[in-house]
Structure 1
Amino acid sequence: MPEPEDEGGRGQAPRLGEAVLDAVFTQSDVGLHVLDTDLRVVRVNPVSVGMRGLPEELLVGRPAAEAYAALGVTVDEDALRDVLATGQPVKDALIRSTPLADPGHEHVFSVSVYRLHDETGRIVGVVATTLDVTERERANARLRLLYDVRERIGGTLDVERTARELIEVALDNGFADAAVVALTDAVLQGKAPELADGDGMLMRCAAVGATDPGSPVPTVGCVLLPGLFGSPLPDEPVLVPSADGVRLVAPLTVRSRQVLGAVSFERRPGSEPYVAADLDLAKSITEHAAASLENALRFTREHIVMTALQSWPLRQERETQRAAEIAQRHRAGGSGAGSWFDALPLPGARVALVVGQVAHPGLSAVATMSRLRTAVHSLSTLDLDPHELLARLHATVLRLAREQGGANDDPGGPGGGAAERDEPTAHCTFVVHDPVTGRLDIARAGTSLLAVVRPDGSVDTSPLPEGPLLGEEGPPFASASLVLPEGSTICLASPATSRDEGPTNAELVAALAEADRGPEAMANDVAPYLSPDRVLLVARTRRLPADDVSEWDVPAELRAVSPARRHAEKRVREWWPDADAFPVELVVSELVTNAVRHGAAPITLRLIRGETTVVCEVDDAALVAPHIRHAKASDEGGRGLHISASLADGWGVRYREDGKTVWAELDVTRSLDDI
């Protein structure tokens, strides 16, 4: 007869508890390890994963630290005693061991420890549960590896550094004990990746690494040939037999067929061997690495273009040497800051000094810089006032911004509809020095460095205030006119990225304020303060010798034309006794006649001697510009300017606030018969 149940079925509770306990100990895959208060093993469930194959009698009754040493597990007795003392459980502590049931592979177990009490509440020991979490930890390790791959590979945009980053990530995350990255010769030279062509591709070692410093690895730079990675180079990651076991080899390719190189991962004896499941992980790693290498390669190629465009030597022309002695510096940095400088010869022996910089660095900045530099060259031929030139250059920058904005807004274009580039803006300082009068005309857009050093060593670090950038607010730009004593020095430099990177006023004064030094010495002292990719122009102004300039006041009447013509003829014969002065006489006659008839007093005639040229300048107070007419056969006039343009190598008009100057330049080595 069955025993009668207590009210509420409480009589079955002890038996139910025993049944649950027996089921857990005999059927569960969760390992159970019961220890007494002396940390001796009291009971285990030998069917649990990790305990299979180990007789229970080898564990029960023995101290836990001694019993589990056979499994290669170190028991933390201090942690167990803390659980006994405080009752605070330990949860999900990870331990690693190689179970007897699977001796070829390391497993990871999650261990939790709880304190045990009897029915009276007395502490009787602890129970430790173990759960095989190897697959979970392997999945987490794969996720950590892929996260590291995306975080650590490709941030430098340097091909060789990217290859080293691939090695470092693989070793740090335990994916390999040794690794070799090889890149094709084309990639290492900054060229486009090659198409796969079997064994005909040459590869060199770009990066190596091993967890064991004594491990044999190739030398960086040596030729590896595809044979090290399989012949021909595999299209997908593969396992390749090696002397020490199995290596994992993967190509570094983009768009399937363009090969950048290959990588070999190797695990030493004693480590987990590669299995087929590792191939998919290797593919994810190498695909990201290949994309990063391609980005770095593209940046390298763009850097080559930027360097070629920006690192030009400024060779001072003979015409500008009469007006200024120039020293230049360019601190290369590779960021593509879009900085430039120029010294441009202008009519009348004058020189224009230009320093500019596009605000946002990159290849587009260098391209914009090239276009702005070309625009400055073109605008300088118009002989514009510096402020007027910057105003027109500002219009050019706005036009470039519209063009770039239109290109970025095109949904079918490379940008995919997103504006990837900022609209261009630029700093620019334009200076014109006249060696005849010593006059310096300056206009400034932005924050380019500008300083004037006088012959006594005094330095003016702000002869002109800063102004808006080209492409932003626009005119008016800061401008001024100065008359400098001969031997003054102008220091121009593209602006620093931030105020902290450029020289302070005190540092600039210390570098420049020393009399009797040439531009080269000054440039050497200022150059160390330049931030990367900035340019510096230091120009010592000169005056033309008095014998090279002749000037006469001309009365505003037609009878003054003949004396002016005689003055010109006499001076040309003094300068060049064997020269034919008649073309100069004709040009002077026509320019003075136009000034008398269509200009306004005062009128001045000036001749400026060059090596083989003479510049004829006629100043007057009228702002009306002369223009060439094509006279009819019956016209009695209208041919003068046309004749002058035919005889001269160049002619033009430049304006001042109080009038204009009409000039013509002639080569005195040619006679009228040669024209």
Structure 2
Amino acid sequence: MPSPQSPESDGTPVEGGGPDNARGRRPDEPDGLDEAVLDAVFTQSAVGLHVLDRDLRVVRVNTVAAGMRGVPQEQVVGLPASEAYAPFADGVDESVLRDVLATGRPRREVLLRGRPPGDPDREHVFSTSTFRLTDRRGRTIGVVTTAVDVTQRERAEGRLRLLHAVRERIGQSLDVLRIVQDLADVTVPGFADSAVVALTDDVLRGEDPHLSPRIVAPLLRCAATAGSDGAGVLPRVGTILLPGLFGERLPGEPTLLPTESEGRALPTVLVASFTVRGRLLGAVVFHRRPTTSQFEREDLLLAADITARTATCLENSLRFSREHIVMTALQSWPRKQPETTRNALEVSQRHRHEGHGAGSWCDVIPLSSARVALVAGRVEQSGVSAVATMSQLRTAVHTLAALDLEPHELLARLHLTTRRLAREQRELSDVEEPSAGCAIAVHDPVSGLLDIARAGNCFLAITRPDGSVEPEPVPVGSLLGADGPPFPSRTYILQPGSTVCLASRSTGASSLPVEALTRALSHPRQPTESMADALERLLGPEEVLLVARTQRLPEDHVAAWDLPADPAAVADARRLAGRCLEGWGTPADRFTVELVVSELVTNAIRYGAPPIALRLVRQPHLLTCEVEDASMTAPYLRHARESDEGGRGLYICASLTDSWGTRYTASGKTVWAAVGLPQPESDRRGG
């Protein structure tokens, strides 16, 4: 078969040799090899060949090539390129052909999309390359274009790109509605013309899903849509979807549902469900118009990957919801102020809760002799582990506070507890070791003393009755679990009506601006609730706040006597306590109080050191008996034998009182015992 000739070519051999020599033909080369190769390429090659002359008219094509199958050669030969290849969606860019014709620079790997006449139901992608043709004298006679069907390659690459986009986008949020909306948005229009995502009511409520039914498709609620189905309006979000949308039975694996179009069944609907360990979370239906390429087997595999990713993200969201409920239960602020602290402080609490589980906490802890401890802290990490650590630290604070430790000493013990928790977590998992900030203030309503200590940069401020504010009464200390003690501490004497403010704050946090807080605190006559409302707007996420207004116990609620270190003073102490109870009219058992006072004074005279003092502190629900001496020797509870003549003093006190303990000062120790007072019937009923 002769090759196409240019009209300007006269077939004259090139000077210097015959035609065979001009082509560099070997002597042993068989005759007609060029024609045989050209014939084989045009009749047997799967690569499409399209020869155009200088006017860009089709001269010859190989009809067996992909894209031109089933098209007689005479239908395209002689036609301009723009008309011959009109079935392709993008058409033919004649400017590219003319550029190759003029410059000789080939154009390679140009993608062309369209529906060839041999397969009008599917869109194909062809990779085309164009080269200039010249005759033996170097004159331009036209261009030749090769076309290779790369539809499967392009679709495979498109599926990979879509899967990458799915993994990048779906799962960035822990909100179930956001997850399914991201699924719909990322698959339309790249994978389908429209998508409808539905979830079960259990998932929408944040509850554990039930096992997937095996008989019929369940009722699902529309959660997200995207695109247009080309036939009608997509369902609105929130509406209940009938099972027919997903077929008579909800498939366990992605399934194609054929639809009728112009008398043909076309696979244009793909249904897949979201299941995790046999539990149904929801389903999705993808729809393609008949004019779009139908779904293929590879699309089912891609849909399986997409739904598996979505189901995992939905399960993570449900797990987060459950953890959020746990964190909310563990971190339910504010708590009610204990009744036994109302004579010492008027307290208001706030918590800016956002569900992150930062592990912030605050406490109002009643101590011996009407004293009250205010505590605010924050674990530096976040999540359920941080809330669990917060609960452990909060329990440790309550336990250590019962020992009547000074604030800086309490923080030192709490630091050791934090280090122990860090070692345990390091052994069990690779989570970040916990550290925490904490501020403690202990107020004595009898003397007006305020002992404060600070670990980390938790906010701590004091407002005087005249409106002056001290925003940093102690410097920032090291974190609990980090460098350790000593922690900064200081002691103040506060007038009644002073305000103490504590707030949790993470290290390096930009929240809680000191200037704004100082302005909000500089109104000492405001009620604590109003002051807390103003300060709450300045809190950062997951921060807690305590605002406490100090009070003094009335003078007639405290009685104190100095006693000589003489055993005869025990009887005097009993009489003084009995007369004090009569004068107060306190409904306490006189015999119990006198016996407790007798035992405490006896221990101080026998085992302590002068000076010795007796003090009674009266509260609405409690009467505290205290004996102070200059010895640092701590008493301990022991069980005496039948033959022992002593050693029963503290055992008697512990049996007759609600609680007892020892606290130390710079000048000695104080042994105390608290006797509960009977309450009126209305108080016991909460009236």
TM-score by length of 1: 0.89
Aligned residue pair count: 654
Letter matched to residue 252 of structure 1: F
Partner of 1:322: 343
Matched, 1:331 2:357: no
Matched, 1:465 2:475: yes
Aligned to 1:249, which of 252, 271, 289?
Answer: 271
Aligned to 1:223, which of 217, 220, 240?
Answer: 240
Aligned positions of 1:629-648 closer than 5 A: 629-631=638-640, 636-648=645-657
Partner of 1:581: 590
Aligned to 1:207, which of 216, 224, 227?
Answer: 224
Partner of 1:108: 125
Distance 1:268 1:641 in 2: 89
Q: After the TM superposition, which of the residue ranges 161-170 and 72-81 deviates more from structure 2?
A: 72-81
Partner of 2:15: none
Partner of 2:494: 484
Letter matched to residue 374 of structure 2: L
Matched, 1:150 2:167: yes
Distance 1:192 1:577 in 2: 57
Q: Judge conservation of contact 2:376–2:504 (CA < 8 Å) in 1.
A: yes
Aligned to 1:657, which of 632, 651, 666?
Answer: 666
> Closer, same or farther in 2 for the Cα pair 1:392/1:497, shift >3 Å?
closer
Once the two structures are TM-superposed, the CA of residue 85 in structure 1 deviates from its matched residue by 4.7
Distance 1:489 1:17 in 2: 104
Matched, 1:301 2:322: yes
Matched, 1:360 2:381: yes
> Closer, same or farther in 2 for the Cα pair 1:618/1:86, shift >3 Å?
farther
Partner of 1:442: 452
Q: After the TM superposition, which of the residue ranges 386-395 and 346-355 deviates more from structure 2?
A: 386-395
Q: Judge conservation of contact 1:573–1:579 (CA < 8 Å) in 2.
A: no
> Closer, same or farther in 2 for the Cα pair 1:483/1:87, shift >3 Å?
farther
List per-residue Cα deviations over 1:550-599 (Å, max 9, x = no partner). 23333444444444444333332222177653432332333233323332
Q: Judge conservation of contact 1:158–1:300 (CA < 8 Å) in 2.
A: no
Matched, 1:548 2:557: yes
Q: After the TM superposition, which of the residue ranges 15-24 and 503-512 deviates more from structure 2?
A: 15-24
Distance 2:230 2:623 in 1: 76
Distance 1:438 1:14 in 2: 120
Q: Judge conservation of contact 1:439–1:483 (CA < 8 Å) in 2.
A: yes
Q: Judge conservation of contact 2:121–2:291 (CA < 8 Å) in 1.
A: no
Once the two structures are TM-superposed, the CA of residue 487 in structure 1 deviates from its matched residue by 2.0
Aligned to 1:273, which of 294, 297, 301?
Answer: 294
Distance 1:185 1:585 in 2: 67
Once the two structures are TM-superposed, the CA of residue 5 in structure 1 deviates from its matched residue by 6.6
Letter matched to residue 468 of structure 2: S
Matched residue of 1:109: which SS?
A: strand
Aligned positions of 1:374-523 closer than 5 A: 374-408=395-429, 419=430, 421-496=431-506, 498-500=508-510, 502-523=511-532
Q: Judge conservation of contact 1:551–1:606 (CA < 8 Å) in 2.
A: yes
Aligned to 1:179, which of 195, 204, 224?
Answer: 195
Once the two structures are TM-superposed, the CA of residue 654 in structure 1 deviates from its matched residue by 0.9
Partner of 2:13: none
Once the two structures are TM-superposed, the CA of residue 435 in structure 1 deviates from its matched residue by 1.1
Aligned to 1:67, which of 84, 102, 117?
Answer: 84
Once the two structures are TM-superposed, the CA of residue 503 in structure 1 deviates from its matched residue by 2.4
Q: Judge conservation of contact 2:378–2:505 (CA < 8 Å) in 1.
A: yes
> Closer, same or farther in 2 for the Cα pair 1:508/1:94, shift >3 Å?
same
Q: Judge conservation of contact 2:334–2:350 (CA < 8 Å) in 1.
A: no
Q: After the TM superposition, which of the residue ranges 347-356 and 68-77 deviates more from structure 2?
A: 68-77
List per-residue Cα deviations over 1:2-41 (Å, max 9, x = no partner). x997597368799655554444333322223334444444
Partner of 2:149: 132
Once the two structures are TM-superposed, the CA of residue 459 in structure 1 deviates from its matched residue by 2.4
Distance 2:508 2:31 in 1: 79
Letter matched to residue 375 of structure 2: V
Partner of 1:411: none
Matched, 1:341 2:362: yes
Q: After the TM superposition, which of the residue ranges 265-274 and 563-572 deviates more from structure 2?
A: 563-572
Letter matched to residue 248 of structure 1: L
> Closer, same or farther in 2 for the Cα pair 1:605/1:18, shift >3 Å?
same
Letter matched to residue 206 of structure 2: G
Partner of 2:210: 194
Unaligned regions of 5+ residues in structure 1, if any? 409-418, 671-675
Letter matched to residue 181 of structure 1: V
TM-score by length of 2: 0.87
Q: Judge conservation of contact 1:199–1:226 (CA < 8 Å) in 2.
A: no
Unaligned regions of 5+ residues in structure 2, if any? 1-17, 680-687
Q: Judge conservation of contact 2:87–2:114 (CA < 8 Å) in 1.
A: no
Matched, 1:91 2:108: yes
Partner of 2:535: 526
Distance 2:237 2:215 in 1: 21
Partner of 1:567: 576
Distance 1:344 1:596 in 2: 32
Once the two structures are TM-superposed, the CA of residue 668 in structure 1 deviates from its matched residue by 4.5
